[in-house]
Structure 1
């Protein structure tokens, strides 16, 4: 079974397994808003021709997510992340004019251990979509955009339950992605978009250590 099929199947099984618990604990249900700050560490290749690090560089990646808790332990939510990336060293480290960002959005399924304890670990899996852009030169005269699926990601964290409605703590996530489309613009010419050929596609990984604050609404 490929990663593209395994992660959604695992999320479905966890949802089905949690339905009895959700029915028994209606008082634990409700919405939660999460705010995160993370450092994005790239690994792997963006395409056959270039590594992910040499394309977008590392990133500072704030994120917001909105989740629904079926019980005090199980939640399903949507997230949006706006990563401000450093760009490739050869273009951006010596005062060159460049900008780079990585947008990621999708869904997460999380399980919270000991949700009523002061120290409450949690784990989760998810899938999503990723769009990375690199602009170089005045007015981004050279602009590259790559986009494709986040085939699956997993994260683990430890919450400190400050109150029943407020938790804060560290986490780390790892996502496996593959770009399938690219766009290129040079100077004032029109942007050219195309699918990436199968033999040019590569897998890449984002490792993200960070901190999350979550508010139960």
Structure 2
């Protein structure tokens, strides 16, 4: 009887050990599958941006005075709309491209947007970037992103003039330049296997290096319409800071 009991216990022990090993192997395979998860990702976001630095240096404003134009002179910040698309190489690494459109909140000032003038400004940023995710399988996944890009600034101003005679002026300008670096810190709460949502903070360093556009003066009294190219200005180094929220879909 003792021998039969011993053999039965041995069989039970063997079965338990085999079951545990199988479970551990299944968990290891599942974890490995998560680590090797790949696929396309699409992200949309919205945030608020502020900036410091210069739009240009040594340029003439509407008052014809030559000065350096700071971002703080011309804008009260902006509302930024973000779009990212890329490929998740594995659970930790992502490679893709970003695009951002910002509606700039223009500020009334005597240099670029005097009282009574109609002023509108928008900015476009785009370029490649990469992300590293620290806890891809956790409920909250912090990440850091690094990228470079180009920036386009479009500005339109129109309003009345009194010199050399009563009339109107319309200025249409485009400034552009490289974004040398952008750094993003953020995190994602996992809402489902394919959807996550969370905050982000992006800082940039860039420079406007080229300005083009026209100034059109219209004087009805003498039936005159004159269009002239804008004068060149000095480079405008600046930095931006964007704070917002973003949602990501794993396709």
Alignment TM-score, normalising by the size of structure 1: 0.80
Structure 1 equivalent of residue 178 of structure 2: 149
- Greater Cα radius of gyration, structure 1 or 2: 2
Alignment TM-score, normalising by the size of structure 2: 0.69
Would you say 1:208 and 2:242 are equivalent positions?
yes
Q: Which moved more, 1:166-175 or 1:47-56?
A: 47-56
RMSD of equivalent CA atoms? 2.5
Structure-to-structure mapping, 1:106-121, within 5 angstroms:
106-121=127-142
The one of 143, 163, 178 equivalent to 2:192 is: 163
Would you say 1:99 and 2:120 are equivalent positions?
yes
Structure-to-structure mapping, 1:1-217, within 5 angstroms:
27-48=36-57, 49-90=68-109, 96-137=117-158, 141-187=170-216, 189=227, 191-192=229-230, 200-217=234-251
Q: Distance in 1 between matches of 2:139 and 2:103?
A: 33
Distance 1:35 1:141, change over 3 A: same
How far has the Cα of 1:109 moved from its partner? Answer: 0.5
Structure 2 equivalent of residue 17 of structure 1: none
How far has the Cα of 1:130 moved from its partner? Answer: 0.1
Q: Which moved more, 1:119-128 or 1:39-48?
A: 39-48
Q: Distance in 1 between matches of 2:140 and 2:121?
A: 37
Distance 1:121 1:55, change over 3 A: same
Distance 1:186 1:134, change over 3 A: same
Distance 1:166 1:175, change over 3 A: same
How far has the Cα of 1:111 moved from its partner? Answer: 0.5
Distance 1:168 1:136, change over 3 A: same
Which structure: greater strand fraction? 2
Preserved contact between residue 157 and residue 170 of structure 2 (Cα < 8 Å): yes
How far has the Cα of 1:45 moved from its partner? Answer: 1.4
Q: Distance in 1 between matches of 2:34 and 2:192?
A: 19
Q: Deviations over 1:120-163 (max 9, x none)?
A: 10001000000012111169811222100000010100110111
Q: Distance in 2 between matches of 1:140 and 1:150?
A: 32
Q: Distance in 2 between matches of 1:75 and 1:124?
A: 9
